[in-house]
Structure 1
Amino acid sequence: MRSKLFFLLLISHCVFSQSNFEKAEKLYDQGKYSLARPIFENIYKENPSQIKAIEYLGDISVQLKEWDKALGYYQKLKNIKPNEANYYYKYGGVLGLKSKEGGKWVAIRLIGDMKESFEKALVLNPKHIEARWAMIEYYLQVPALFGGSEKKAQRYADELMKLSPVDGYLSKAHIDEYFERYKSAEKHYIKAIELGGSKNTYERLASLYKVKLHNSDKAKKILEQYQEKNKS
């Protein structure tokens, strides 16, 4: 009888924990990060190896721009699952955000670990799309003195082209845009639209027209084309 009661209590606890997790997850999806956080924290306290709760806590810290907290959570994830590429990618991403906000000297201190994290993600998962995007941004933003290079950025764009042609064209357009080669960027964005046709591809071309070429009418027309194409 006692063992049966224990089993029922255990099942009840698991259901309650699952219910709390789903509630926190829903709050997170709604952008209510401050409300989701204490629920995930309680789940984490009850089970310090609950990977998904730790990841959500890291993601919430990123959304709230609490870089050191986010790094702490992602470091825990790397310790628990050292072969999971995405945790290295997220860790490197936070280092990038922290360096961007912290200024020149903070960036100099962090860029080595940032690059190492993205490269580790690619070693663990050679098909990791986001880590390649991160490396492209890294080589565009880092000064040449510290290894910045368009040639190296283009190399990762070429790799993206093989893994995902849409991402390949978008990344090449991004590089062109960075160096103010707007005509070439436009051609690559149009190619991405032809291949993928996602909202993201249209929005990137519209942004080029509006922000860089100061042509709001053309930007509006591109977005209208997307809406017309995707009428239900």
Structure 2
Amino acid sequence: MADARAGRVDASVAALKPIKNADAQELLCKLYSSVDARDAAISACESAVSLAPSNSDYALELARVYGNKADHSGTFTGMRMVSKIRTNFEKAVQLNPKSVEALSDLGQFYAEAPGIVGGGADKARDLVTRLQPLSPARSHRLAAMIAAKAKDDTTAEAEYRAELAAGHTPEAYVDLAGFYRSRKQNDRAVENARLALAADTHRGPDTLDAAKILIDLQHPADAVNGLRAYLNTQQAGVSAFAQAHVLLGNALRATGDTAGAQKEFAAALALAPNYDAARKGAGQ
């Protein structure tokens, strides 16, 4: 819907809440996720899965919002949610065995989670093989994650570079930037984040991810143009314009442009008045 593509979160939520079908509930889930309303996102995604239990995409989205909640919770809450995350990732793959997104996310879960909760490198390697004919880039990406988890940095870097060679996608540059950042090779991280912005001509989520890295590594000026380009691009689905305004506000504030930053936080609040990150930025 037009409001969702334009990032008008509150208007979209108000329109969608009365609609009790799976598509509307999944869209609600994505809208809530775009402004970190994690509990509301979980509730909406659970409704979508309940209404359409054979839909792989809905199971995948539910696993992702459970994961987002776990990442921002304490250890006890996070551990309680692990089985829900794994179950829904596995369900998404079972419902659509050729879904690159579902296979990739399940593989990442297996690579990162300990065996006691259903993870394991062997399970992840099986998915590397399954991904290879579907997406060589994602296959290399998962192999890199497995190697990085095992602290085999040489192999991990080689696999991330193989991901990049498979298509020179913005995602591959972001992945390399994230790897270098985790290894405190900040100059290389910044270089690849800049390359991600240059490669993401369609201005999707990779622009936001690259901008976050640049801001965190104290190169906010490099993020500004990419974020402005994102905000001037019509998104195909749910936009993250409120999040982009907050990131741009943070970048501008870091460059010393306090007035410009406040305008961006105000723009985010106009789209989503209860967005905590925007309220914090605006000093509310």
TM over 0.5: yes
Using the alignment, how far apart are the partners of 1:54 and 1:226 within structure 2? Answer: 32
* Aligned residue number for residue 144 of structure 1: 115
Q: How far apart, in 2, do the equivalents of 1:187 and 1:39 lie? A: 43
Match of 1:25 in 2: 4
Specify the SS of the correspondent of 2:158.
helix
The answer as to whether partners of 2:97 and 2:103 remain within 8 angstroms in 1 is no
2:249 is aligned to: none
Aligned pairs (5 A) from 1:49-64? 49=21, 51-64=22-35
CA RMSD, Structure 1 to Structure 2 (Å): 2.8
Residue of structure 2 equivalent to 1:9:
none
Question: Percent same amino acid at aligned positions?
Answer: 22
From the superposition, tell whether residues 180 and 55 of structure 1 become closer, same or farther in structure 2 (CA, over 3 Å): same
The higher relative CO (CA closer than 8 Å, separation ≥ 6) is in 2
Structure 2: give runs of 5+ residues left out of the alignment.
202-284
1:189 aligns with 2:160: yes
Query: 1:136-186 deviations in whole A, cap 9, x for unaligned?
Result: 232233233333311112222221123211110111112222322121122
> For residues 195 and 60 of structure 2, what CA distance do their matches in structure 1 show?
35
Residue 133 of structure 2: SS of its match in structure 1? Answer: helix
Structure 1 residues 188, 111: closer, same or farther in 2, change over 3 A?
A: same
Q: 1:63 to 1:215 in 2, by over 3 A?
A: closer
Distance 1:120 1:203 in 2: 28
| CA separation of 1:217 and 1:198: change in aligned 2, threshold 3 A | closer
Structure 1 residue 81 corresponds to structure 2 residue 52 = yes
Structure-2 separation of matches of 1:55 and 1:125:
18
Q: Distance in 1 between matches of 2:193 and 2:12?
A: 42
Residue in 2 that maps onto 1:203: 174
Please, which runs of 5 or more residues in structure 1 have no aligned partner? 1-20, 29-34
**1:216 is aligned to 2:187:** yes
Contact 2:4 2:12 in 1 (8 A): no
The count of aligned residue pairs is: 200
Q: Which residue of 1 aligns with 2:73?
A: 102
* Structure with bigger gyration radius: 1
C-alpha distance in 2, partners of 1:164/1:128? 10
Matched residue, 2:128: 157
Q: Give the match for residue 39 of structure 1.
A: 12
20, 37, 57: which one aligns with 1:48? 20
Q: Is the 8 A contact 2:147 2:153 kept in 1?
A: yes
